[in-house]
Amino acid sequence: MGEEAGMQLNREALTRAYRQMKLIREFEERLHEEIQTGEIAGFTHLYCGQEAVAVGVCEHLSERDKIVSTHRGHGHCLAKGCDVTGMMKEIWGSQEGLCNGKGGSMHIADIDKGMLGANGIVGAGAPIAVGAALSNKIDGPDENGKLAVSIAFSGDGACNQGTTFEAMNLAVVTKAPAIFVFENNHYSEHTGDAYAVGTAQDIASRAEAFGMKVWRADGTDFFSVYDTFGEVLEFVRTPGNGPAAVEFDTERFFGHFEGDPQRYRGEGELDRLRATRDCLRKFREKVTGAKLLTDADLDAVDTDALGTIEQAVADSRAAARPQPENVLENVYISY
Amino acid sequence: MAKMMYRDAIRGTIFQEMQRDPRVVVLGEDVVGGMGTAGGPEAIGGIWSTSTGFYEAFGPDRVIDTPISESAIMGAAGGLALAGKRPVAEIMFADFIGVCMDQLWNQIAKFRYMFGGKSVCPAVIRMPCGAGYNAAAQHSQMISQFVTSMPGLKVVMPATPADACGLLRQAIRDDDPVVFLEHKFLYAMTGEVPDDPDFVIPFGHARLARAGEDVTIVASGMMVGYAETAADDLAQDGVGCDVIDLRTTSPLDEEAILDSVEVTGRLVIVDEAPPRCSLATDIAALVANKAFASLKAPIEMVTAPHTPVPFARELEGAYLPSPAKVAAAVRKTLAYR
Ligand SMILES: Cc1ncc(C[n+]2csc(CCOP(=O)(O)OP(=O)(O)O)c2C)c(N)n1
Ligand SMILES: [Mg+2]
């Protein structure tokens, strides 16, 4: 692994990556507040703490690359380019939302952006990603000889579903350009990976056992994610290589869902995670330490991201509500 | 009698049955809650609070917290049952039946028939189900139509805390596999529950929740409360409704439905599932076939539309049946001459 390839990014790319992470953070922090007022309906799972994974992965991708997300999907969606306001409106249940208020937090999608959906069914994403990868394979390499890829984001809980295993094997035997990104945040709902993941908290070894090349990296460090994923991508984009997997060690800063009392956490655990495992803090320390960007540069991004979220919330509050008759729309294309 | 919530009636009944019969075991995702964490086992308990305290009382052999693996949960329930245990498995949301349909449909439901009546598979599959939480298309569904259609399964839909207790005890003691559909919205409902540790409600016997001679309303699960509210409103206007709470959809108490329709001649069926190939169409067919001469008006069905469950509040409200929709259907059938 080259010494921190991500640190070679230019100012513009660094600023963009930071902005994406910050946008996700503020999006989620704001939702955390708003949900407590009761205005937002349904189940919401926040991605706070894991931003470096979504952004470190998606900053490498283009629109022809596809991702399939999870119930904790806001970060993946934003990182893949879904419209912030459209997402916020969706979570607000507006007719103007990305999915017309039909899906909500757990079903945000934007197919044109290569975002094939958040998912309410744990483990459902990986087979879908393999299908999209098989399509990429049929389409063949681009003018540079590289394949488009499809990525399945899965958690330490989802890695226990048979669907995930089947998808991994299918990808291996068909040499599908699929990438299994495992975000190990050490919890599936209220259960620790120490209990639920039989392979000693090591998900990557499972993918390895299926015959895949695997990587492991610190998911709370943008540069570690970015660099590692660059290598994964280089491998999978090369025709004939087939799939690969990468496990990122990461943390979630909020409850499993909003309203989770989190009594399974250790004493002071959240404070410690926020102090030592915060990807935004780490990013700032690294880039200011290396004098790539200044605190003032980053502060300006912070202000901008906050403003974007503020506006998205205001727009969502004012957005058109669905009408009862809308319930019947979108079941089929032709009736 | 003791006043308690529907969820506590469920928890208490399983607990008592575990005390009574060492073959009763519980399994499911987060049924212990906190396994492998700093907080430790029972740090939180199951997400529906229907298994709180079980692990401490009965230990890991009989209270099995599973990884997220519905096929393995369902299949293991089948295997435990074939091997002589009485598993009570929880599929956290009924929607996840999609993940484990084979183990339920091709395995558990069919063992006895395929094996020529030589096997016993007393598995209870608890499935919290239904809409009302804006939980959207994959966490809100009513699946009564699937499971009721499967030969070999008994299907229970309790509408009150007392019924949850009596029917669950029957389910655990029953030698056939039982799908137990708990409506998530009923968990907080309170009601009187008999103290008798052997209180059971036999399957296949509907409950007459309201009595009246003008219209028959057939409902199950959360829809029973809607039907009762509608019936009470209509009673103010002098309209009397029989409200038949099916309690179990398989076996089905055909007699209760037919006897009532013979008196009223008018039938409204309330069903939370979409309208095609459902409990509503099933009961409508039954009545059209066996009580045709008694009918004075077309059968009315109050169901969800033929769509997935939508997210937004307004949309979910439009999707679900409601007491007002039930009352409107009653008035419609009464207006038919
Ligand atoms: C098939 C299925 N089973 C169970 C659930 C309930 N559930 C939702 S998220 C979750 C935990 C997922 O854990 P993990 O994959 O580690 O993702 P994380 O929540 O940590 O992002 C569970 C059990 C579900 N949505 N789908
Ligand atoms: Mg997890």
- The verdict on residue A329 lying in a domain is no
State the pLDDT at residue A1: 39
Inter-chain residue contact A121 with B138, CB threshold 8 Å:
yes
H or E segment to which residue B288 belongs: helix B279-290
Q: Is the CB of A190 under 6 A from ligand 1?
A: no
- By the 8 A CB rule, do A59 and A20 touch? yes
- By the 8 A CB rule, do B195 and B1 touch? yes
Inter-chain residue contact B29 with A106, CB threshold 8 Å:
no
B65 touches chain A (CB under 8 A): yes
- The verdict on residue A274 lying in a domain is yes
- The verdict on residue A226 lying in a domain is yes
Phi-psi region of B11 (alpha: psi -120 to 50; beta: other; left: phi over 0): alpha
User: Which of A72, A269, A327 would best serve as a mutation to test chain B binding (most B beta carbons within 10 A)?
Assistant: A327
- The pLDDT confidence band at residue B45, using thresholds 50, 70 and 90, is confident
CA distance B67 to B180: 22
Candidates A95, A188, A261; nearest CB to B44: A261
State the pLDDT at residue A161: 98
Ligand 2 center from residue A192 Cα (angstroms): 8
- The verdict on residue A209 lying in a domain is yes
Strand positions, DSSP E, chain B: 2-5, 24-29, 63-66, 86-90, 124-129, 154-156, 178-183, 190-193, 207-210, 215-219, 241-245, 248-250, 267-271, 300-303
Inter-chain residue contact A323 with B314, CB threshold 8 Å:
yes
By C-alpha distance, which of B73, B69, B248 is closest to B144? Answer: B248
Q: Which of A163, A188, A195 to mutate to test the pocket of ligand 1 (most atoms within 8 A of CB)?
A: A188
Candidates B39, B98, B139; nearest CB to A265: B39
Q: How far is CA B230 from CA B61, B159, B234, B327, in A?
A: 47, 16, 6, 5
Inter-chain residue contact A192 with B311, CB threshold 8 Å:
no
Q: Which residue of A has its CA nearest to B41?
A: A264
State the pLDDT at residue A201: 81
State the pLDDT at residue A198: 94
What are B237-278's pLDDT values in tens digits? 999 999 999 999 999 999 999 999 999 999 999 999 999 999
- By the 8 A CB rule, do B273 and B258 touch? no
B35 touches chain A (CB under 8 A): yes
Structure tokens at A27: 């999006």
CA distance B175 to A169: 39
Coil, strand or helix at B127: strand
- By the 8 A CB rule, do B194 and B8 touch? no
CA distance B190 to B181: 18
Residue A14's φ and ψ, nearest 5 degrees, are: -65, -45
Which residues have CB under 8 Å from A335's CB, separation 6+? none
Which residues have CB under 8 Å from A167's CB, separation 6+? A126, A127, A129, A130, A152, A178, A180
Cross-strand pairs, B5: B190
- The verdict on residue A153 lying in a domain is yes
Residues, chain B? 337
The single residue listed with the structure tokens 């869902």 is A257
Structure tokens at B226: 């809607």
ipTM of the complex as predicted: 0.96
Which residues have CB under 8 Å from A99's CB, separation 6+? A90, A107, A108, A109, B311
| Burial label, B128 (beta-carbon count in 10 A; 0-12, 13-18, 19+) | buried
Q: Output the tens digit of pLDDT for each of chain A's 335 residues.
A: 346 788 899 999 999 999 999 999 999 999 999 999 999 999 999 999 999 999 999 999 999 999 999 999 999 999 999 999 999 999 999 999 999 999 999 999 999 999 999 999 999 999 999 999 999 999 999 999 999 999 999 999 999 999 999 999 999 999 999 999 999 999 999 999 999 999 988 999 999 999 999 999 999 999 999 999 999 999 999 999 999 999 999 999 999 999 999 999 999 999 999 999 999 999 999 999 999 999 999 999 999 999 999 999 999 999 999 999 999 999 999 99
Query: What are the chain B neighbours of A162 within 8 Å (beta carbons)?
Result: 69, 71-72
State the pLDDT at residue A7: 86
Position B6 pLDDT exceeds 60: yes
Size of interface A-B (CB pairs under 8 A): 164
Ligand 1 closest atom vs CA A188: 13
Position B316 pLDDT exceeds 60: yes
State the pLDDT at residue A5: 80
Q: Is B183 a catalytic residue?
A: no
Q: How far is A265 from chain B (nearest CA, A)?
A: 6
Ligand 1 closest atom vs CA A158: 15
Q: Is the CB of B136 under 6 A from ligand 1?
A: no
Average pLDDT of B145-158?
A: 98
The residue type at B89: A
- The verdict on residue A184 lying in a domain is yes
Structure tokens at B47: 């997400």
Ligand 1 center from residue B137 Cα (angstroms): 16
Candidates B44, B69, B308; nearest CB to A264: B44
Query: What are the chain B neighbours of A267 within 8 Å (beta carbons)?
Result: 38
Question: Range of A59's domain?
Answer: 5-316
Structure tokens at B115: 């094996």
Interior angle at CA A203, CA A199 and CA A209, nearest 5: 80
Q: Whose alpha carbon is nearest atom 5 of ligand 1? A: A122
Ligand at shortest distance from the CA of B28: 1
Average pLDDT of B123-147?
A: 98
Q: Whose alpha carbon is nearest atom 22 of ligand 1? A: A189
State the pLDDT at residue A3: 61
Cross-strand pairs, A212: none
Q: Which domains does chain B have, with CATH numbers?
A: 2-193 (3.40.50.970), 207-335 (3.40.50.920)
Which residues have CB under 8 Å from A257's CB, separation 6+? A43, A44, A45
What are B11-33's pLDDT values in tens digits? 999 999 999 999 999 999 999 99
Q: Which of A43, A74, A119, A122 to mutate to test the pocket of ligand 1 (most atoms within 8 A of CB)?
A: A122
Cross-strand pairs, B182: B128
H or E segment to which residue A170 belongs: helix A162-174
Average pLDDT of B283-294?
A: 98
- The verdict on residue A95 lying in a domain is yes
Ligand 1 closest atom vs CA A50: 21
- The verdict on residue A20 lying in a domain is yes
CA distance A76 to A124: 16
Q: Which residue of B has its CA nearest to A259?
A: B47
Q: What's CA B192's distance to the chain center, in Å?
A: 19
Q: Is the CB of A122 under 6 A from ligand 1?
A: yes
Q: How far is B269 from chain A (nearest CA, A)?
A: 21
What are B100-121's pLDDT values in tens digits? 999 999 999 999 999 999 999 9
CA distance B281 to A297: 65
CA distance B332 to B323: 14
B37 touches chain A (CB under 8 A): yes
CA distance A87 to A45: 14
State the pLDDT at residue A2: 43
Q: How many domains does chain A have?
A: 1
Q: How far is A76 from chain B (nearest CA, A)?
A: 19
Ligand 1 center from residue B10 Cα (angstroms): 24
Which residues have CB under 8 Å from A37's CB, separation 6+? none
Candidates A104, A107, A190; nearest CB to B30: A190
Inter-chain residue contact B36 with A193, CB threshold 8 Å:
yes
Residue B155's φ and ψ, nearest 5 degrees, are: -130, 125
Q: Which domain CATH number covers A187? A: 3.40.50.970
Which residue in the list B139, B183, B205, B306 is annotated as catalytic? B139
Please tell me chain A's helix, strand, coil percentages from 3-state DSSP, rounded to the nearest 5: 50, 10, 40
Q: What's CA A236's distance to the chain center, in Å?
A: 19
Position B186 pLDDT exceeds 90: yes
Q: Which residue of B has its CA nearest to A263?
A: B43
The residue type at B192: E
Q: Which of A189, A247, A260, A273 to mutate to test the pocket of ligand 1 (most atoms within 8 A of CB)?
A: A189
H or E segment to which residue A296 belongs: helix A295-318
